[in-house]
């Protein structure tokens, strides 16, 4: 019963993430209830930490961040919760190529698209109406019903180009 938005964060960060927090919790809670699953402190902590990351995250990174804040959760629980959050439509797997999976918040957000620098790994997030329109057009063209999309541009940033020029070796 003592399940309010987790105890007291040391420094309430200002900005959109905080606003998004309450609604997402209830979305998750509702989903869990519909599946006859329980809303536990661990699950709440994990969702809140993801919201505060407010970006692409990896499991290890998330776990470290949570530990740093004194939340004790096992990696297994994070994996189990991530699966639930995916099923609930709150997060999704991002499409980076690295070995470790990257996830991102999607609930209530316009689809985020990424442009990644192939040299530095730095990336820029954007979202583009034209792309959404294009998606609709293609779906209509085949008689399919659009649900979502992913778009990632591979490119070379100015820094990447510079670094490329400097170090002409590269192992």
List contacts with its own copies (CB under 8 A).
1-8, 35, 93, 95-98, 115-118, 120-121, 124, 126, 128, 130-131, 134-135, 138-139, 142-158, 161, 170-171
User: Residues binding DNA: what is the number (CB under 7 A)?
Assistant: 28
> Is the CB of 13 or the CB of 121 nearer to its own copies?
121
> Is the CB of 145 or the CB of 166 nearer to its own copies?
145
The C-alpha atoms of residue 57 and residue 154 are separated, in whole angstroms, by 19
CB under 5 to 8 A by kind: which of its own copies, DNA, none does 64 bind? none
* Residue located via tokens 């998330």: 62
The C-alpha atoms of residue 102 and residue 95 are separated, in whole angstroms, by 7
Q: Exposed/middle/buried for 28, CB within 10 Å: 0-12, 13-18, 19+?
A: buried
CB 133 within 8 A of CB 151: no
The backbone torsions φ and ψ at residue 9, rounded to the nearest 5 degrees and listed phi first, read -65, 140
Interface with DNA includes 90 (CB under 7 A)? no
Interface with DNA includes 140 (CB under 7 A)? no
Tell the smallest beta-carbon distance from residue 91 to DNA (Å).
13
> Is the CB of 78 or the CB of 157 nearer to DNA?
78
Tell me the Cα Rg of the chain. Answer: 19
Given the rule CB under 7 A, which residues bind DNA? Answer: 1, 3, 32, 36-43, 58-60, 72-77, 79-83, 99-101
């Amino acid at each position: 019963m003592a399940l309010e938005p987790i105890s007291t964060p040391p420094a309430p960060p200002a900005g959109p993430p905080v606003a998004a927090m309450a609604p997402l919790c209830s979305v998750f809670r509702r989903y869990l209830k519909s599946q006859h699953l329980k809303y536990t402190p661990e699950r709440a902590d994990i969702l809140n930490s993801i919201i505060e990351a407010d970006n692409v995250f990896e499991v290890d990174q998330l776990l470290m961040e949570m530990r740093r804040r004194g939340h004790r959760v096992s990696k297994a629980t994070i994996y189990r919760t991530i699966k639930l959050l995916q099923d609930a439509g709150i997060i999704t797997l991002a499409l980076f190529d690295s070995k470790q999976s990257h996830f991102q918040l999607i609930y209530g957000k316009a689809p985020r698209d990424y442009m990644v620098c192939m040299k530095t790994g730095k990336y820029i997030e954007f979202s583009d109406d034209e792309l959404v329109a294009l998606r609709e057009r293609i779906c209509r063209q085949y008689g399919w019903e659009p649900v979502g999309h992913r778009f990632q541009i591979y490119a070379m940033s100015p820094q990447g180009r510079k670094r490329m020029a400097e170090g002409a070796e590269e192992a």
